[in-house]
Amino acid sequence: MIELNNIKKVAVVGAGTMGQGIAQVCAMAGLEVLLYDLNSQMLDRASQTISQNLEKGIERGKVSQEQKEIALNNIKVTVSEDELLADLIIEAIVEKLDVKQGLFKRLEAINSENTILASNTSSIPITRIAAVLERPANFVGMHFFNPAHIMKLVEVISGVSTDPQVAQTVYDLALKLGKEPVHAQDAPGFIVNRVARHFYVEGLKVLEEGVSDVNGIDRLIEYSGFRMGPFRLMDLIGVDTNYSVTESMFNAFHQDSKFRPSRIQQQKVDAGHHGRKSGKGFYKYD
């Protein structure tokens, strides 16, 4: 089984907001990174965003010019799935079980028997994704939080079949990345999303009931000590991503009403109002 000192190359699947951040922190830790996406334009945008993030780090005194150059040199991009050969592969794609399972089946077939496969899923049970694999012992959850290049927490989730050494290796890697990892057992939403889901769901219920408007709810929550209210945070994460996680949790808990997705949020998703990344969500952005 592969150990931490043998992890030299990491492949990140998905060049969206989370994939970009994961690629950046891995590259800054001195790892060789291969960033993959079907869309070459997404890869171009990801490369620009990573460079901008590092430049902001320089401005704040957190990153040196040399560290920026080394990190950028450590990242390669590809649109070819066949090139995804690595010691560790981290998936950060759409929250759909069948899509994730199909991806990991293909990646398992072309990689070494020692390659660790990890999912950044926010809510889909690790055991369920791994059920289609020949080597489910090599599969683990590695859940970063947005923005991944800044947020310290990483949940390391063990499915029923996950080898404890695999989980420990991923935990040790998270420490190497400068993160603060936490071991968790498999369950819908794991720890953070299960607890935090009601931060969004109840905020949306208050809005539906006309108790206050979006800005009023956010301001009151922020005045109570939170850095962001639920609507500003949904816009940052992505209204569509947040809705998808809520929907997944709702189904995973057998339609328990306390996880029921909001019609208001669904309408935002249907309208393409996905938050900061689309220029409009619960707020408007330049």
Indicate if 67 and 175 belong to the same structural domain: yes
Q: Edge to edge, what strands does the sheet with 180-185 contain?
A: 75-78, 32-36, 9-13, 88-91, 116-119, 139-144, 153-158, 180-185
List phi, psi (to 5°) of 89.
-120, 125
Let me know whether 167 and 225 are in one domain.
no
Residue 204 and residue 213: Cα distance in Å, rounded? 10
Q: Assess whether pLDDT exceeds 80 at residue 107.
A: yes
Same domain, 164 and 263: no
Question: For the residues 198-226, what does the mean pLDDT come to?
Answer: 96
% the chain with pLDDT above 90: 90
Q: What is the pTM of this model?
A: 0.88
Structure tokens at 219: 């301001």
Give 78's strand partners: 36
For the chain, the first-to-last Cα distance in angstroms comes to 49
Residue with tokens 């907001």: 17
59-68, 173-182, 248-257: range with highest mean pLDDT: 173-182
Residue 89 covered by a domain: yes
- Considering the domain architecture, whether residues 172 and 216 belong to the same structural domain is answered as no
Residues catalogued as catalytic: 122, 143, 155, 193
How does residue 188 score in pLDDT terms, banded at 50, 70 and 90?
confident
For residue 194, give both structure tokens. Answer: 């299960």
Q: How confident is the model at residue 127 (pLDDT cuts 50, 70, 90)?
A: very high
209 and 113 housed in the same domain: no
Do residues 44 and 166 both lie within one domain? yes
SS3 assignment, position 7: coil
- State the residue range of the domain holding 256: 194-278
Is 133 in a helix, a strand, or coil?
coil
Calculate the CA 114 to chain-centre distance: 23
Residue 89 DSSP SS3: strand
Domain boundary pick from 185, 217, 248: 185
> Is residue 283 in a domain?
no
Tokens of 171: 């935990």
Do 209 and 170 share a structural domain? no
Domain's final residue, options 150, 185, 220: 185
Are 174 and 140 a contacting pair, CB within 8 Å? no
Residue 284 domain-assigned?
A: no
In angstroms, rounded to a whole number, what is the distance separating the alpha carbons of residues 155 and 140?
10
Structural domain tally of the chain? 2
Q: What average pLDDT does this structure show over 88-95?
A: 95
Q: Pick the closest to residue 91 from 22, 146, 156 (CA basis).
A: 22
pLDDT band, very low/low/confident/very high, at 248 (cuts 50, 70, 90):
confident
Same domain, 144 and 216: no
Same-domain status, 8 and 72: yes
The CATH number given to whatever domain includes residue 217 is: 1.10.1040.50
**For residue 210, is it within any domain?**
yes
